[in-house]
Amino acid sequence: MGAPAITINNPGENDLVGRTAPIFNVRIKDPNLDKMWYTIDGGINNVIFTVNGSINQVLWEVLWDSLSNGDSIFIRFYANDTIRNINNEFATVIKDEVKESILGYNLIYLLFSIGLISIFLIKKCKRFI
């Protein structure tokens, strides 16, 4: 028997990522599968998972704050089986502050602008009533 087979469906290689932790989708095949885990910090913190989901947001933000825009982030997935075979695969994603600002800050400015326009229109309509 060989080591577990790991296929990373998401995140894609060189995906641009913002401050929000990415969703992961991996397929791990092994008839004797024991554990699955990932790390984003070179193994300092290992997160065990049983189903696909999101990368741990707290760990993600710590890593995010330590990197510069355009830096690579390695998300390494591991699996072992009950007979001590182990395998790993990784995806490289790229920190993108522009994506974060578009999704975060620009949305705030948009909502603020809509609020100001609404107040202006309400005041203008009241003069005609």
Per-residue pLDDT tens over the stretch 51-87: 999 999 999 999 999 999 999 999 999 999 999 999 9
Per-residue pLDDT tens over the stretch 8-57: 999 999 999 999 999 999 999 999 999 999 999 999 999 999 999 999 99
91 and 101 belong to one structural domain: no
54 and 105 belong to one structural domain: no
Domain range for 89 is 5-95
What CA–CA distance (Å, rounded) separates 62 from 78? 21
Number of domains in the chain: 2
85 and 25 belong to one structural domain: yes
Residues 6+ apart with CB under 8 A from 93: 11, 14, 15, 16, 17, 22, 72, 73, 75
Report the CATH number at residue 55: 2.60.40.10
58 and 116 belong to one structural domain: no
First-to-final CA distance of the chain: 81
Burial of 89 (0-12, 13-18, 19+ CB in 10 A): middle
72 and 119 belong to one structural domain: no
